[in-house]
Amino acid sequence: EKGGYDYFMLKEIAEQPKAVADTLLGRIDASGSLTLDEVRISASELREVDKVVIVACGTAFHAGMIAKYAIEHWTRIPCEVELASEFRYRDPILDGRSLVIAISQSGETMDTLMALRHAREQGSKVLAICNTNGSTIPRESDAVLYTHAGPEVAVASTKAFLTQLVACYLVALYLGQVRGTKWGDEIGAVIRDLSHISGEVERVLETMEPVRALARSLADKNTVLFLGRHVGYPVALEGALKLKELAYMHAEGFAAGELKHGPIALIEDDLPVVVVVPSPRGRSVLHDKIVSNIQEIRARGARTIVIAEEGDEAVVPYADHLIRIPATPTLLQPLVATVPLQVFACELATARGNEVDQPRNLAKSVTVE
Ligand code: F6R
């Protein structure tokens, strides 16, 4: 049932191009418009929405962080994202014009369920993004957009994460379409790029051998840091989470701009630091800033592992290890940038003799608060 792979996680990483394509299937029509009929919240209600609030846990929370960038950029609706376990305890401000999005692979995560119940009690509409048909979270929501990742068996989430991202982009674009905001050339181009993205994920998977070799060479390290900016920041957090849960290593993700406010003190000789570099096209300010961050940490001894777009030459002099990913629009980059981090964590866990599919102390769905 592992389809020839040693672990479910390897199989599920390999299934990502299909999972992404399946989640897009039937949702973009020939004219490039979105048809999300499943989202049973009327267009007039969606036009009234004045705030989007995303609740989720763990990896799904990282998808939510990325969704915030997309929703605010494409729709100009203010968007908050919060850990489900924190959400209802701070008496959040919600009403009938708030759209709450609950993201959950299993559909059974208790913290996320309690957060959505709280939101509905305040009169907010809840849209679930979920991978498990008929599970509790979609049953208790006003509407659901299913991710079509197929069953995810490995405890560490991989293909579900990529499909959560796709679903978040679809919701963001759909909100933009319904409300007529920013529905110009940029959105059309994004939809085109999204419809080709599964091929790009496939290309990333074909180039992972050096990442595996690198991971094996770091098996006796104690700490790995991850840095990113903009949507690369949640990707850095996700890379760190995968490494913690699989390799049982101290791993932390930081917003690269925060380095100088404390974390740079952690940098020491030969400390591996993975840096997710935004596209040099588009928001080039971000790119320039992260190149200086890479220089800063390298000058202090860090061993830099740089994930950068093909054709990005500016990073080459400062990268001890360079992992190439295909060029994508900035907001979509997490779909390709996360894949090497999954492979990295999986291989490091294997090299350290850990049980990849069933890490210690973890359960696939967390049905207690
Ligand atoms: C990490 C991981 C967890 C889940 C989290 C939420 O690899 O799998 O962090 O993402 O427990 O689970 P769901 O999405 O089922 O609500």
- For ligand 1, whether the C-beta of 235 sits within 6 Å is no
- 182 catalytic per annotation: no
- pLDDT by 10s per residue, the chain, length 369: 888 999 999 999 999 999 999 999 999 988 888 888 888 889 899 999 999 999 999 999 999 999 999 999 999 999 999 999 999 899 999 999 999 999 999 999 999 999 999 999 999 999 999 999 999 999 999 999 999 999 999 999 999 999 999 999 999 999 998 888 766 677 788 888 999 999 999 999 999 999 999 999 999 999 999 999 999 999 999 999 999 999 999 999 999 999 999 999 999 999 999 999 999 987 778 999 999 999 999 999 999 999 999 999 999 999 999 999 999 999 999 999 999 999 999 999 999 999 988 888 888 888 888
Pocket test for ligand 1, best of 8, 106, 141, 362 (most atoms within 8 A of CB): 106
- ipTM comes to 0.98
**Candidate of 57, 87, 155, 159 to mutate for ligand 1, largest count of ligand atoms within 8 Å of Cβ:** 57
| Rounded Cα distance, 201 and 13, in Å | 10
The reported pTM is: 0.97
What's the 62 CA to ligand 1 centre distance in angstroms? 10
Q: Is the CB of 105 under 6 A from ligand 1?
A: yes
- 156 CB under 6 A from ligand 1? yes
Three-state SS annotation for the chain: CCCCCCCHHHHHHHCHHHHHHHHHCCCECCCCCECCCCCCCCHHHHHHCCEEEEEECHHHHHHHHHHHHHHHHHHCCCEEEEEHHHHHHHCCCCCCCEEEEEEECCCCCHHHHHHHHHHHHCCCEEEEEECCCCCHHHHCCCEEEECCCCCCCCCCCCHHHHHHHHHHHHHHHHHHHHHCCCCCHHHHHHHHHHHHHHHHHHHHHHCCHHHHHHHHHCCCCCEEEEEECCCHHHHHHHHHHHHHHHHCCEEEEEEHHHHHHCHHHHCCCCCEEEEECCCCCCCHHHHHHHHHHHHHHHHCCCEEEEEEECCCCCCHHHCCEEEEECCCCHHHCHHHHHHHHHHHHHHHHHHCCCCCCCCCCCCCCCCCC
CA–centroid distance, 126 to ligand 1, in Å, is 19
- Residue 171 CA neighbour count, 13 Å, CB half: 39
The CB of 104 under 6 Å from ligand 1? The reply is: yes
Ligand 1 atom with least separation from CA of 156: 7
User: Pocket of ligand 1, candidates 9, 13, 59, 364: which has the most ligand atoms within 8 Å of its Cβ, to mutate?
Assistant: 59
**Residue 135 φ/ψ, nearest 5 degrees:** -75, 175
Give the Å distance between the CA of 270 and the centre of ligand 1. 32
The label of the residue with tokens 């971000």 reads 286
- CB of 106 shorter than 6 A to ligand 1: yes
Indicate if ligand 1 lies below 6 Å from the C-beta of 163.
Answer: no
Residue nearest to ligand 1 atom 7, measured at CA: 156
The ligand 1 atom at the shortest distance from the C-alpha of residue 59 is 10
d(CA 193, ligand 1 centre) in Å: 27
* Atom number, ligand 1, closest to the C-alpha of residue 242: 7
Q: Of these residues, 2, 221, 244, 364, which one is catalytic?
A: 364
